[in-house]
A and B are shown apart, each in its own frame.
Chain A
Amino acid sequence: MTTADQLAAHGLDLRYGDRLVVGGLDLTLPGGAVTAIVGPNACGKSTLLRGLSRLLAPAAGRVTLDGADIHRMSARALALRMGLLPQQPVTPEAITVEALVRLGRYPHQRLLSPWSAADQRAVDEALERTGTAGLRDHPVDQLSGGQRQRAWIALALAQDTELLLLDEPTTFLDLRHQLDVLDLVAALHAEAGRTVVMVLHDLGQAARYADHMVVLKDGRLAATGAPADVLDADLVKSVFDVDCRVIPDPETGTPLVIPKAGAVRHSAVSA
């Protein structure tokens, strides 16, 4: 972990209209690490990600990147340092994989400047890394869910930023493709030294793939730290209202949440 690419929230309030979604959040996300943001539905995970990436202006407080307020930076300057994959990105009609990924070079291009060799190199690398090079001429809207998600990650990679924010990158994917995406994220961090911040649903996956964990409840910080330090039965009970046991993952030793068997299932078995 390094001190560069360090994203932080200071007394952050995020609102949609009158509704306070995230309130009074103080948070530091370590640079050079993979951070997972977890929490129950509607706890403000995605909202926090939008706030951290300038898509949502804070109602109060600040978001800083290495100490500089991101709302005082130019949109382009920030886009050169931080990429974001929304939860449900809009795929333009009939666009090919390569045309989509090329749009990731937008912040690098100047008015009237032509497509450069560096741009093409970044696009080729992003396609190779995500395993979508063979699909470059395919229309994105005809790909499977897993392929489409990789194409979108390729766009974010072509943007070539040190920081990558992913909003539920595994939602709507089957287990195989979930693991593909998470392994890709792990490789990006391990090989390219990227800082990744992602919203995840699955606590076990979050514990496995993240160095750092942020647990939200009702728009407030419930816990933060290394998964092994943070994730225990009390936390899961208080945040998710689920009785569980937390055991070491037999594969990795990271915490694994095993919900206790519910009453309904007992009665179904005994009946």
Chain B
Amino acid sequence: MTPTTSTTSMPPATTAAVASRRTASRARRRHRRRVLVLAGACLVALFALLTVSLTTGEMPMSAPTALRALLGLGDAGDVLVVQQFRAPRAVAAVVAGAGLGAAGCVLQRLFRNPLASPDVMGMTGGASLGAVALLAAGASQTLVPVGALAGGLVAALLLGAFAWRSGLAVTRLVLTGLAVQAGLAAAVNLMIVRFPTELAGSALQWTTGSVYGRTWTQVWGAGAAMVVALAATLALHRGLAVLDLGDDSAGALGLRTSRARLRLLFLAVVLASLAAALAGPVTFVALAVPHIVRFLTGPPTVASPVLAALTGAVLLLASDLVVQHLLPVEGLPVGAVTATLGAPWLLVLMFRQSAPARREHV
């Protein structure tokens, strides 16, 4: 409020308005910069990790060689290794990671609960069971996403039947989800023992989560569906912000709250189930990614699901590379790494949840 000679001629209200608009753009610009930095960092990391995953392995090759092999040029052996083994595996990790990150982001916001995530709430387990059941019945690999989706939805319904009536109390939801998840995981194990020939070779994928041995057929189907689901998530995101205002305010703003919630929940199940169709019941990624995004860029905005998808992709691809190249144990599934990281993370979150200091709504 120290007008210079040039602004004294303006009416005071206008000066104040201009000044406040200037500070607004500064604050928003700061947030936008953080979002762009994280998005850029994720893209660079993805590019670097993809390069590593195409070039390293039992047949190491230079980046240009790997790139040419990817396009079908050069040594036939290189082409086979890159096109048929390394590339689909890496893309599967990226797609599944993106789906898990976005699903966790939507669920945590929807339930206003930092513990909400498809692997804690049983959706991942349901999707795995659905996929395994279909494979055991002799269905082809292309139908796996369909089975996963059906299983994920059934798990969500189960969770709803058990926990919805209690008003979705935080601890009840998590405990019920963990119980549902455990039951479904047991059922998956049972199926694998019961149908050893049909499920031969894929046991690790469906019990622990792995992207080993993915084929392009699987990756394309689930990947295309994932792109559609991510676009829908982005389109519905505005409703998520309005839901944060509580049911009365959201209703007064013209949002049909129950319908909006069901749609978003359905989308989260689709995202998580497609991820499970590619990678099995991978834990930790969906739970941790929203926290990472929040830590780096602040409270959720419209950019959050995009950032969560990118961060999830980086996290899962990096974990898969750790499994392949950095650990002394051969043939470990990526789910083993994420589960190892996830268990202590879940504990920390649970302790923080039960701490008495909670934010108050007024």
Q: Which of B122-130, B199-207, B240-248, B307-315 lies on the face that meets chain A?
A: B240-248
A13 within 8 Å of B by Cβ?
no
* B246 → chain A closest CB, angstroms: 3
Known interface pairs A133-B20, A137-B24; A107-B254 also in contact (CB < 8 Å)? yes
1/0 per residue A96-121: CB within 8 Å of B? 10110001101101011000000000
**B227-266 vs A: 1/0 string, CB under 8 Å?**
0000000010010011011111101111110000000000
Would you call B248 and A93 a contact (CB within 8 A)?
no
Segment 154-200 of A: residues with Cβ below 8 Å from B: 155, 159, 165, 172
Q: Which of chain B's residues have a CB closer than 8 A to the CB of A88?
A: 361-362
A53 CA / B21 CA spacing, docked (Å): 33
Digitize B23-64: 1 where CB-to-A-CB distance is under 8 Å, 0 elsewhere: 110010000000000000000000000000000000000000
> A246 at interface (Cβ–Cβ under 8 A)?
no
A238: chain B residues within 8 A (beta carbon): none
Q: Verify if B183 is at the interface (C-beta below 8 Å from A).
A: no
Residues of B with C-beta under 8 A to A239:
none
A66-85 residues at the B interface, CB under 8 angstroms:
74-80, 82-85
A90 lies within 8 A of B249 (CB): yes
Answer yes or no: B193 CB below 8 A from chain A CBs.
no
Q: Give, as a whole number of angstroms, the nearest-CB distance from A250 to chain B.
A: 34
Task: Please name the residue on chain A nearest to B234 by beta carbon.
Answer: A112
A-B interface contact total, Cβ < 8 Å: 96
Q: Are A159 and B362 in contact (CB under 8 A)?
A: no
Partner among B27, B256, B359 whose Cβ is within 8 Å of the Cβ of A96: B27
User: Number of residues in A with C-beta < 8 Å to the partner?
Assistant: 48
- Partner pick for A86 among B13, B249, B256, B299, CB 8 A cutoff: B249
* Chain B nearest CB, measured from A162 CB (Å): 14
Q: Which of A36-77 contact B (CB under 8 A)?
A: 50, 53-55, 74-77
In the complex where A79-B253, A106-B242, A124-B17 touch, is A137 in contact with B23 (Cβ < 8 A)?
Answer: yes
In angstroms, Cα B254 to Cα A55, docked, is 10
The answer to whether A159 and B299 touch (CB under 8 A), given A98-B24, A137-B24, is no
When the two chains form the complex, which single residue of B13, B235, B242, B247 contacts A112, counting CB atoms closer than 8 Å?
Answer: B235
Contact B16 A134 (CB under 8 A): yes
Report which of B20, B21, B249 forms a contact with A84, defined as CB distance below 8 A: B249
Give the distance in Å from the alpha carbon of A112 to the alpha carbon of B302 in the complex: 12
Residue from B20, B256, B298 within 8 A of A75 (CB atoms): B256
Interface residues of B in 1-32 (CB under 8 A from A): 13, 16-17, 20-21, 23-24, 27
A89 and B249 CA atoms in complex are apart in Å by 7
Q: Does A229 contact B (CB under 8 A)?
A: no
Q: Is the CB of B299 within 8 A of A103?
A: no
Nearest chain-A residue to B23 (Cβ)? A137
B-side contacts of A109, CB under 8 Å: 238
Q: Which chain B residue shows the least CB distance to A84? A: B252
Q: Are A92 and B244 in contact (CB under 8 A)?
A: yes
In the bound complex, how far is the Cα of B359 from the Cα of A136, in angstroms? 21
**Can you give 24 contacting A-B residue pairs, CB < 8 Å?**
A77-B254, A78-B254, A83-B252, A92-B241, A92-B245, A92-B299, A93-B299, A93-B359, A95-B244, A95-B299, A96-B27, A104-B253, A106-B238, A124-B21, A128-B13, A133-B16, A133-B20, A134-B16, A136-B24, A137-B24, A141-B362, A145-B362, A155-B249, A159-B253
> Chain B interface (Cβ within 8 Å of chain A)?
13, 16-17, 20-21, 23-24, 27, 235, 238, 241-242, 244-249, 251-256, 298-299, 301, 359, 361-362
